Structure 1
Amino acid sequence: MNKDLNSLLWKHHWKLLSLFFVTVVGIYLYNGLNQVNSWNENYQSTIEQIKLSEGTETIKDYDFSLFYTPGQSSNKIFTTFINEPSHILWIAIALLSFGLFFLDKFSDFDQFLFASRFSKKMIFSTKMIFGFSTLLGSLIIGKIIFIGLLYMRIPNEFFNATFFELLPNQLLSLLFYSLIFSMMMFFAIIIGDVFFLIFVSIGFSISIGFFMNTFRTLFDKWNYYQHGSISRIASNSWVFSLFKAPGIQGEHPPIWYYLVYSVATGLLVALSSHYYKKLSLENNGKFILFSTLNKPLILIVSLYVPFMLVSNWLYADFYNLQLTRFFWLNHLLSFGFGVAFCGSLSWFLLFKKEALKKRSF
């Protein structure tokens, strides 16, 4: 890394990086205090209700453990209460990525950088290191504060988890947020329109967790269709609630989640680096700045959106056991209609709308 470039980028972005760090740590601190206080209040009130209705002796029959553990009694009280502020973090991550890569693209700062002695490859890698180090550093510190608050302010007899039992979900969440950052970074580089950037990047990032679970759900449905058996999987394990074992089956997150998030992040970083080096400040009037990406993105959107919608319909039919004679035919036709509609709409947005703009002048 070049010291002069580091100093230049830090002077330009230190407010954004510092604000992100303070925001993330503050979110974890605020959320941790709120959840600890709520847990203690609910715990005390529940204990009193049990004493009044069933007597003191029956309290030992209840499980007040903080984290879900397979094999607990049916009288679990607080097992799904502690959650991380994931949706707020998505917004903060989006603003960090847009600030580093999208806003500079439309400012005199990138013009200055591109005209300097620093190569675009060096500029990109330095920005990426600044972004990822701020992201991961703030998340790790925030998680330490969050879990520390739980440990210090909730009675130890109810804190039924060790560091190594919580580690798998926390590692997965770091990989997930890294994927969200790299996804935002990629779209911030290749898209030249604010509304289109927000619509596409936020839509993809929010739906990626549902997309992962859709694969698992479809696998379950296929097993049911073939063998008549089904295993229900928690539909929001990607939110990374602080469970020792997040699934309904008491399982840890599947290994392929880690692999998909890691590989996808690496691929998006490589693509972002490739297109950042091709970036020109003269072509900012388009939705997608690189014409070679128009058709691939149309194809991805045309398959991705119908897949999400139809698979949710499949979910309802399978779990409600509504298996009609034309079950698969109905869903395949619906998927085909969705592909045609989404493909036509995205094609119009990327091609025809630009043509209409030119005709109007």
Structure 2
Amino acid sequence: MHNQLDQLIWRRHRRLFLAIGGLALLGCFMATMLTLHTLPKGETQLVGAGIQNWEAYAGSYFTGFPYWVIAAYWMVGLLMMNQDLKDHFNQFLFSSGFSRRRVYWSKIKVAMVALLAITVLTIALEYGVIWAMKPANVSFHLAWPGVLSSWIIGLLASIGMFALSWFAALIIGQTGALIVTIVGFTLSLVGSFSISVIILRECGIKLTGAQQTWLMAGAWLVATVVLFVWGAILYNKLSLEHNGEYLLFPRLKVPVYIVFVVYVTSLSVFGTDGWSLVFWFLASTIFGYCWLWRPRLGEMFHQWRSRRG
């Protein structure tokens, strides 16, 4: 039964995996070629002096873990869950006798296997292209501490991105609103992490760049576990009753509303004055209320025309 379920999920999403894998490979190849063609003409070292340190490579020309892989995890988590909700593939699996718990974790297992294959191929492509096509004046030396650190931190960030978009696609029932929400939240994470580092520094905790990177990786690990487990709990209660609404789980409206107001206000007013706090609090409160509870403008216009007709 388990193998049959995995095969159903694979056949359902193999085109998605192939498309996103191809996009990651193409994007990585083009980015690597662009980097090689923009290197300075003098002697250049792609990896800096910290080659033996247990920290991720994050130089100007070489990162050790392609960003295209992280984007692939994010896209698969978003599209895989959203497609299954919109095309009623979940209901098909439930009616076939598979338990919701088994379906949920089997989806994650199949996605992780496919994404790990994409990860290996993309990393191999990046490293291989650099080795084969780097100019004679370019030095490219690696060491296991930096390589392993780059891979571990990159994988934790990638899986965290998958869990983030996966969970968002599970609880949000409108595709357009889902994309706007998850893109905005993902972009804001850069600012929120920078603010967290500043707060730690003001509390007397000064972290080096490597320590900040490992702290971020640990945060992704914790977030992944929380989102996967919470998602499994919600998946057992998934219903078509609220299909098409912004939130598929009405009980999440108040928690999501509170988190939205606190998060947007905190991110917007950090380091500013009290008037900015008042403005952003009111703006986020009003916008969050309209977004979660009030009908969209198109629905209001449709209702108005119906009454006039």
Answer whether TM exceeds 0.5 for this pair. Answer: yes
CA distance in 1, matches of 2:236, 2:18: 27
The answer to whether the Cα contact below 8 Å between 1:179 and 1:264 also exists between their aligned partners in 2 is: yes
Q: Any idea what the Cα deviations from partners look like across 1:147-192, whole Å, max 9, x if unmatched?
A: 3333444359722431322322332121111111111111111111
2:146 aligned partner: 165
List gaps (5 residues or longer) in structure 1: 48-62, 71-78, 224-229, 234-246, 315-329
Shift of 1:301: 1.1
CA distance in 1, matches of 2:278, 2:113: 43
List gaps (5 residues or longer) in structure 2: 51-58
The answer to whether the Cα contact below 8 Å between 1:68 and 1:80 also exists between their aligned partners in 2 is: no
1:32 aligned partner: 32
Shift of 1:338: 1.6
TM-score, length-scaled by structure 2: 0.83
- Output aligned runs, 1:116-135, within 5 Å: 116-135=96-115
1:288 aligned partner: 247
2:159 aligned partner: 178
* Higher RCO, 1 vs 2 (CA within 8 Å, ≥6 residues apart): 2
Structure 1 counterpart of 2:188, from 207, 212, 217 = 207
The answer to whether the Cα contact below 8 Å between 1:121 and 1:273 also exists between their aligned partners in 2 is: yes
Number of aligned residue pairs: give it.
293
* 1:143 alignment partner AA: I
Q: Any idea what the Cα deviations from partners look like across 1:171-221, whole Å, max 9, x if unmatched?
A: 212111111111111111111111210111111222223321221123335
The answer to whether the Cα contact below 8 Å between 2:171 and 2:248 also exists between their aligned partners in 1 is: yes
1:324 aligned partner: none
Q: Which has the larger radius of gyration?
A: 1
Aligned residue for 2:294, secondary structure, equals helix
Q: Any idea what the Cα deviations from partners look like across 1:37-71, whole Å, max 9, x if unmatched?
A: 432xx32xxx4xxxxxxxxxxxxxxx73222336x
CA distance in 2, matches of 1:221, 1:133: 42
* 1:15 alignment partner AA: R
2:22 aligned partner: 22
Structure 2 counterpart of 1:272, from 231, 235, 240 = 231
Structure 2 counterpart of 1:350, from 288, 292, 308 = 292
CA distance in 1, matches of 2:264, 2:69: 24
Q: Any idea what the Cα deviations from partners look like across 1:316-358, whole Å, max 9, x if unmatched?
A: xxxxxxxxxxxxxx53442343233212211121112279759
Q: Any idea what the Cα deviations from partners look like across 1:88-139, whole Å, max 9, x if unmatched?
A: 5565444322332112212143332222201111111111112222223312
2:199 aligned partner: 218
The answer to whether the Cα contact below 8 Å between 2:156 and 2:220 also exists between their aligned partners in 1 is: yes
CA distance in 2, matches of 1:64, 1:231: 32
1:141 aligns with 2:121: yes
TM-score, length-scaled by structure 1: 0.72
Shift of 1:26: 2.9
The answer to whether the Cα contact below 8 Å between 2:265 and 2:281 also exists between their aligned partners in 1 is: yes
Aligned residue for 1:352, secondary structure, equals coil
- Output aligned runs, 1:48-87, within 5 Å: 64-69=44-49, 80-83=60-63, 86=67
Aligned residue for 1:33, secondary structure, equals helix
Structure 2 counterpart of 1:331, from 264, 273, 281 = 273
CA distance in 2, matches of 1:12, 1:160: 42
2:8 aligned partner: 8
Cα–Cα, structure 1 residues 283 and 28, in superposed 2: closer, same or farther, change >3 Å? same
* 1:80 alignment partner AA: S
Cα–Cα, structure 1 residues 335 and 141, in superposed 2: closer, same or farther, change >3 Å? farther
